Amino acid sequence: MREDAQIAGMEPEMREWEKNIRQVVPYVPGEQPNLPDMVKLNTNENPYPPAPGVLKALEEFNVDKLRLYPDPTSIILGNVLADYYKVGTDQVFVGVGSDDVLSMAFLTFFNSNLPILFPDITYSFYDVWAGLYKIPYETPALDETLRIKKEDYYKENGGIVIANPNAPTSVCEDLSFIRDILEHNKRSIVIVDEAYIDFGGTSAMELIKEYDNLLVVQTFSKSRSMAGMRIGYAIGHSDLISALHNVKYSVNSYTMNQPSLYLGVEAVKDDRYFKECINKIVNTREYVIEEMKKLGFSMPESKANFIFATHEFIPAAEIFAALRTKNIFVRYFNKPRINNYLRITIGTEEEMKILLDFLKEYVRSKNNS
């Protein structure tokens, strides 16, 4: 019957057990190609290796630990993060990448009948979690310069989520903006997702001591070169962190694996290497921006490890396809308002030279046609 209906072009009859399957539209992660000599600039990974101490710890890691469950409290990593940010250990929550931390925060804090608020153009996992957990939400539109209109967040709500710098736009709001949002939302939990904050913005961490409803989420995936280890964390008032732990222990108590905990500690310890890599990426970013502007591209001011670029007359989809023919991968979002932009990760100087050389030749060919 189902096959006949499909042949006839009709919707097949739903089987009884299918009615109880949760229906969601999933998040679509960035493509992970594995090709020789490719230039991978599509998922905002750090082009430089983790801190030397991470490699040393990996070489010395006691594999016998793998037969044991990891510490459910992730205390060794929580302690080093608490020391780094000068907060109490009871103010730190560790998870499997910031996606895990954010998902847990949605599940823990957004249980009102009021809609949560986040921008219409932002990290596209937010509406997925809202749908999965049946959380009502609204998405106030960014303005014509791709900035958040803070007045849209003054109304009654069930919570607020702001990615700062925003993704995929790269736009970063200053600390006074975040403070203003907090001042107007003292009855709601405000989550600031700072996956890219180390590349030029000012973290909202310093506001935690003033606002007990603020949760700041960061990750090791971008600035600390450890996307493959999946380490994320949240810092906030101890009551927020306690609530997160209660929900975590109700879902999966052993979330962090043993190697991630030990290698994560070493990544935090080497602050000098961390800042050197950040500076290299920022310097490369500013050079690439200037070179792309000469070719007719424009973009918002970036405070992230990527740029969000559009060309004055060549469609983004066309450039995206042309780059792929040369195994140069960037990110293209075929979505309203941003379907003429490319999100381009900042790679090494050598990788960005390959990108720029291609773009120079491609734009020249279009100008001459």
The predicted-structure confidence for 295-353, as pLDDT tens digits, reads as follows 999 999 999 999 999 999 999 999 999 999 999 999 999 999 999 999 999 999 999 99
**pLDDT digit string (tens) for 196-208?**
999 999 999 999 9
pLDDT at 5: 52
DSSP assignment string, 120-169: SSS-TTHHHHHHHTT--EE-PPP-TTS---GGGGSS--S-EEEESS-TTT
Q: pLDDT grade, residue 41 (50/70/90)?
A: very high
pLDDT at 1: 44
* Average pLDDT taken over every residue of the chain: 94
Architecture in CATH of 39-48+272-368? Alpha-Beta Complex (3.90)
DSSP assignment string, 158-191: S-EEEESS-TTT-----HHHHHHHHHT-TTS-EE
How many alpha carbons fall within 13 Å on the CB side of residue 85?
26
For the chain, what's the residue count? 369
Q: Is the pLDDT of residue 7 over 60?
A: no
- Which amino acid appears at position 160 of this protein? I
Check if the beta carbon of residue 191 is closer than 8 Å to that of residue 215: yes
Check if the beta carbon of residue 166 is closer than 8 Å to that of residue 148: yes
pLDDT at 4: 52
Which of 205, 201, 129 lies closest to 164, judged by CA?
Answer: 201
**pLDDT digit string (tens) for 80-95?**
999 999 999 999 999 9
- Which amino acid appears at position 342 of this protein? L
Structure pTM?
Answer: 0.93
Q: Cα separation of 238 and 88, whole Å?
A: 8
**pLDDT digit string (tens) for 111-139?**
999 999 999 999 999 999 999 999 999 99
pLDDT at 6: 52
* 3-state SS class at 271: helix
Q: Cα separation of 171 and 187, whole Å?
A: 27
CATH of domain 52-61+68-269: 3.40.640.10
Q: Where are the domains of the chain?
A: 39-48+272-368, 52-61+68-269
* CA angle in degrees (0–180, nearest 5) for 268-195-302: 115
Sheet of 137-138: strands edge to edge?
Answer: 92-95, 232-236, 214-219, 190-193, 160-163, 116-117, 137-138
pLDDT at 80: 98
